[in-house]
Amino acid sequence: MTADDSPGRAAAALLHGRQQATVLSAMSPGQPDRLLAAILAESRARDIGLTLLIADLSGRWGFLNDRDRERLRDGRLRLVMLAGGVHRRLSSLVEYYPHSLYEVDRYIASGQIAADIFVARVSQATATSGFTWGTMVGYSPAALARIGCVGFEVAHGEPPVGRQAVIDREHPAVTCPAGEPGGSPGRTGAPPAGHDRIGRLAAGLLPDDATLELGLGAVPEAVVPHLAGKRSLGLHSGILPASLQPLIASGAITGARKSYEPGLHLATGVLAWRPEPGPGAGRLRLVPVSVTHSPEVLRQQHRLWAINSAFEVDLLGQVNAEYAGGARIASGGGQVDFFHAAHHSDGGAAVLAIPARAKDGRSRIVADLGCSRRVTSAAADIDYVVTEFGVAHLTAVTAGERARRLAAIAHPEDRETLIRKWNDRSG
């Protein structure tokens, strides 16, 4: 690997001799925003046609500036979302793959999602230690094995998070110093009262000895304060929020009864994580998406409970986790992978945790998603829906009973309308 260079010189080396280039970025917080901004500047200066494949969990896309948006409109720059979110003002300019995160990883590994250049933010604890993926592994190992031209933003002095393998590199990579990690959504303070009630109700469904997958967002994270009283919980998840770290470090979450990798907590990334001593600190292991989201691996995990959120659910139980206000602003990510696995897990279940109303007062429980919004998770994979008004158990009941149970946990002012629309539609 080359010695650290400036982001501008690293970008020039990566784009040298190219008239067109497709650049795949690691998932945030492994997204190298400084290097991406430099690549965009170099492509503007040399009029290189550029495609960026992005998975920004925060939806900030902070590497873009106004000149990049002009190039988006004239076609010299193309943005494709693999996972994460995107601001509404960019939504119409961004293409996307309608695949789950496991499928994205698989297509990168096979070359069906192809790129000329792979860039990532990596960590190096000391001057003599190897590189690790830091706080996000994601699909980076698949990209590294497939793509020959590589650029690393190196964060020096950062110890690895949890148990990680050192990055194995057989061919050179261009490197530059890292800035602050980008695309890391963080939340502080107590959750709203409605979210806290949803969290308490969802946590109440979890049996002792369960293995938990927790989706991103304020609503699933509201479950965390209510996990302390559980016994022998384990974690097998995609990306873990920082609020789980004290429970792991203290040993309150042990993973002792997991059927796959007992005693270890598996994830592909963490958000806002800091080194924290404690009896459970060594139990966290960061592994690729090809492990965390693998159907074969998840089938081995008994008592798997998946708790995720969304923008809407209809009266059949179909879930929309991508469209809000007519714009696609989020990816379904790993929700499909985990909901399907948890629904089929022995002793497990798929739980959708969702406020009854959006901030603008619209009901998040709707009569029918219709054709304008993509169904992210199938109704057949949903076992429970939880709002601040209660729990709807949807397993092994008729469509009509599903509709009645879901309407019963909607906002009281929306229930009559929902039932009327259901009756009108069903005749």
Alpha carbon distance 19, 341 (integer Å): 44
Asked if the peptide bond before residue 141 counts as cis, ω within 30 degrees of 0, the response is no
For 270-383, where are the alpha helices, taking DSSP H only? 289-292, 295-299, 335-344
Mean pLDDT of 165-184: 76
Given a cut of 70, whether residue 182 has pLDDT beyond it is no
Enter the pTM of the model. Answer: 0.93
The predicted pLDDT at position 188 comes to 47
Query: Region 28-44: what's the mean pLDDT?
Result: 96
Q: Give residue-wise pLDDT tens across range 314-334.
A: 999 999 999 998 899 999 999
Per the model's pLDDT, the better-predicted residue between 187 and 191 turns out to be: 191
Mean pLDDT of the chain: 91
Domains defined along the chain, listed by start: 7-177 (3.40.1080.10), 193-426 (3.40.1080.20)
Strands 304-308 and 211-214: parallel
Supply φ then ψ for residue 151, to 5 degrees.
-125, 130
Count of all residues that appear for the chain in the document: 427
**pLDDT tens digits, one per residue of 220-276:** 999 999 998 888 899 999 999 999 988 888 888 899 999 999 999 999 999 988 766
Mean pLDDT score, 26-54: 96
Three-state DSSP class for residue 349: strand
Provide the total of helices (H) and of strands (E) in the chain, helices listed first: 14, 23
pLDDT at 273: 83
